[in-house]
Structure 1
């Protein structure tokens, strides 16, 4: 065969994507650079799934049409550093293919070399010994040797040998790889992609490729692969010593849509905010990936160039701790959402994964507690003209949370906010059905904020003690059933603004200076617990209600939550400490925007449960 037509090209890409997806667990295990967060395989698999799903229906498309679809899908679906580099690689392929029905191997070789160079140029500070090195060496070999081949069935296997040799030498170029006895994870993923394409050329039948399930996660162990340098590809026994690379906390990504976008100018601006910067795309759509401590600044600056379509900020410190947990054979990973009210040090201590919910400000979506600060949000919340609302987590964020959990431990216990006030619980239950082989438990906290925090804390302590998933679930459900939570509202205007209270009711209550006290009932719904005249009496009422519950408990534990009312929350905490002779002051947490939207500025809450110290 001297020409590559659309059908062959499509099937080669699908086969390569399928192999990467099937090997994602193996790739995750060797992920030590640029940060040891154990998600390179998952990110590459997600990116390739997006590409594959875009071209699966295109059975009659020519190469140019396929390339355009792949480039667009890659930008939309790119996750992480490796996914962003892949997105620019496919953008580079699209640069050279226009409307060709078929191409000779010479054009394939030249285009692959151009795509490899395009991927390198997307990176602010390229590092050798990574995916870009293997891309470059593969492309350079194709450019130098394609003259001796007229058939892709002969050219690709020979070029694959060069890619495998380049992969084997990555530890010689990057000391962190040598120290951990692994090859670069992103480079390994790219070689898997080439191997998948070559496998298809060898097999020659599309029915051997798992096309229909490209978008499903494969959590099975991948087959161990050996290379010429005898690099050990199994999961290294000692956890990776690469914490020094974690100077920035958030793996931050967004997509900008606009006209005449200047990629170089955007890259120059984003370089100010962190490292591991990759900027990919074209003049109308750009994907940004950067490791930073200021995701909200990245998003704000990105929004100045055009419409911000998607935003994501993953906590790499938490992911690193998750990789440590795996080596410690932790049985159960604890997950929750951003409505959970716990002190930050407890999230860190127990390595609790947080799934961000969404808050909408003037139709602009933000990730709760990630890409909008409390101060920025409170300004919007207090602005009568601003449209503020909340939403459950997006499906990709739910999926990412599950995948993170499964990289931590064999079982997951996810504890979202109450099903009585959000659809998050039911959405997570539905998503769990897609993980048929995984041990995932979704527990209704029947609360939010501090109450949810107490349930999560009970589960996290049990998991840290090495209890089984069933035992952790039992403890979480027991704690959820006995936890009580009372909330003092300073004003009803935020509940009215959020649509939970009629405007006429809110006006009457605020005019009379009545302060409603609410609580979560047994079904996890918010109901009225009483009314008080003025803020002082309202705070006193929630203290008395919580105290009455605590008096029935042997080991009452409290969490005090608030929205911009720390002084009031502190007085409440001090009162409870004195009343129950507590050795330490109850934890005080400030609510994230998604809960603060409905409680409003000045709100204070008390959660209490019987939690063994």
Structure 2
């Protein structure tokens, strides 16, 4: 058992079997419909989320874990004598990071290291897996934190949003934009830049055109990719995810292209059939970090 235990929150969207295999601690965010609050991925699944949105006609609110939630999650590992590295959803998107920092102060100095991923979904998950491999190699929390700080700006996160409906319901685009976008079949593409969800460009026309554009964007940077691990992350778009995986495996020669399901928090902001390609670039020297 590594001396350092890696924690993440439910927005990392790592496959459940990976969480078990690599002993990754997971702290769920909250999803609230009216007076009912659910733990992301524990009390509510993504398919159930969409059923509730259809029933209520509105999106849920999402909330960060409290400092008490973090303390409760961290305490058993600290009591075992282990040190903790927790990698959070971007502080630009949630107060999760700040609450984890508050919780960390309740433990002896150096026992809990909190890192702001400045990302979301498997953009976090990529960093978590690098941290896991480093912990397995016996790296200290400080060394792991330094590694993640180097990797953070190299994470490429790009998602195709299938419909403007969820962006509209969530207040991220106007009713007129939603109407015009729907009529013209405009599909926005979101990138994560400096920890924020940023509209990168729009694709007009069929969904396949948008997916092809996203795939080509990734393949154009093939020479820059750390081919250790590439994620295709989706919200109820399994068929498209399988096809993107096949193409990435064929064109990149990556050691692993993994498919992951977006959880409730990510899905509540983006909507069904959202799909993304996420990977880490090599650094300026062409080095691959923490390769297993």
Distance 1:547 1:556, change over 3 A: farther
**Matching of residue 535 in structure 1 with residue 207 in structure 2:** yes
Aligned-partner Cα distance in 1 for 2:50–2:277: 21
Distance 1:404 1:548, change over 3 A: farther
**Matching of residue 498 in structure 1 with residue 165 in structure 2:** no
**Contact kept in structure 2, 1:412 and 1:441, CA below 8 Å:** yes
* Matching residue of 1:442: 114
* Matching residue of 1:182: none
* Matching residue of 1:599: 270
Map 1:555-594 to 2 at 5 A: 555=227, 557-582=229-254, 584=256, 586-594=257-265
* Matching residue of 2:30: 358
**For this pair of structures, how many residues does the alignment match?**
283
Q: Quick one: which of 216, 220, 243 aligns to 1:544? A: 216
Q: Quick one: which of 47, 56, 70 aligns to 1:398? A: 70
Aligned-partner Cα distance in 2 for 1:375–1:451: 22
* Matching residue of 1:454: 126
Q: Under a length normalisation based on structure 1, what TM-score does the superposition of the two structures give?
A: 0.44
What SS does the aligned partner of 1:334 have? strand
Map 1:135-174 to 2 at 5 A: none
Aligned-partner Cα distance in 2 for 1:363–1:496: 23
Aligned-pair RMSD on alpha carbons? 1.9
Q: C-alpha displacement at 1:542, in angstroms? A: 1.5
**Contact kept in structure 1, 2:229 and 2:255, CA below 8 Å:** no
Q: C-alpha displacement at 1:434, in angstroms? A: 2.8
For CA contacts below 8 A with separation 6 or more, give which structure has more relative contact order.
2
Q: C-alpha displacement at 1:334, in angstroms? A: 0.5
Structure 1 stretches of 4+ moved >6 Å: none
Q: C-alpha displacement at 1:430, in angstroms? A: 2.5
Aligned-partner Cα distance in 2 for 1:551–1:479: 17
Q: C-alpha displacement at 1:465, in angstroms? A: 1.6
Aligned-partner Cα distance in 2 for 1:448–1:576: 21
Aligned-partner Cα distance in 1 for 2:103–2:226: 38
Aligned-partner Cα distance in 2 for 1:450–1:433: 27
Gaps in structure 1 of 5+ consecutive residues: 1-324
* Matching residue of 1:608: 279
* Matching residue of 1:508: 180
Aligned-partner Cα distance in 1 for 2:164–2:81: 43
Higher helix share: 1
Distance 1:507 1:449, change over 3 A: same
Aligned-partner Cα distance in 2 for 1:482–1:607: 11
Aligned-partner Cα distance in 2 for 1:466–1:409: 15
Gaps in structure 2 of 5+ consecutive residues: 282-288
Distance 1:358 1:536, change over 3 A: same
Q: C-alpha displacement at 1:535, in angstroms? A: 1.1
* Matching residue of 2:19: 347
**Contact kept in structure 2, 1:550 and 1:609, CA below 8 Å:** no
**Contact kept in structure 1, 2:66 and 2:99, CA below 8 Å:** no
Q: C-alpha displacement at 1:548, in angstroms? A: 2.9
Map 1:280-299 to 2 at 5 A: none
Map 1:174-185 to 2 at 5 A: none
Based on CA coordinates, which of the two structures has the bigger radius of gyration? Answer: 1
Higher strand share: 2
What SS does the aligned partner of 2:91 have? coil
* Matching residue of 1:305: none
